[in-house]
Amino acid sequence: MSQGETATIINQLDVELDDASDSAATISVEVAYALPHKQSLVALSVPDGSTALEAAKRSGIANDYPELEIDESTRLGIFGQLVASTQPLREGDRVEIYRPLLADPKEVRKERAARARARRESAADSDAEKTDAGDAGSDHPGGIQADR
């Protein structure tokens, strides 16, 4: 047997061993990531006992999104519920990779409330000016003169 034949047989055995270990106790999961203009959902089999982070890394989804780095600080969820990266997975779980927030939701709500308050105050001031202008020369509330 030549060295080339020996190497080929060894490589075939390695592949067969890898295939056998892959089929032992695996579960099917999905990994999802989305941007406003693009979404990805990858179905894969992982060894039973794999974590959410391991599935996210194995999915290869980061290859499609250069800005995405999957590590221990990546926020992950399963079916919309935030989980630790070490969360063990169960058959059929969908791991969701969350994008970082662009703005603090509390601050956004405060700003929106301040703008609404300013609009209401501006509208109230405008209504008061109209009422004051309509009252000129009238002794009846609301600027309506009664017939005498």
Which pLDDT score is estimated for 29?
A: 98
Tracing tokens 């999802």 back to the chain, one arrives at 32
Sheet of 26-35, strands arranged across: 38-47, 26-35, 94-97, 76-78, 81-83
Angle at 109 between CA 106 and CA 111, to 5 degrees: 110
Instruction: For 32-69, write each residue's pLDDT tens digit.
Output: 999 999 999 999 999 999 999 999 999 999 999 989 99
Give the global pTM.
0.57
Instruction: For 96-121, write each residue's pLDDT tens digit.
Output: 999 987 777 888 888 899 999 999 88
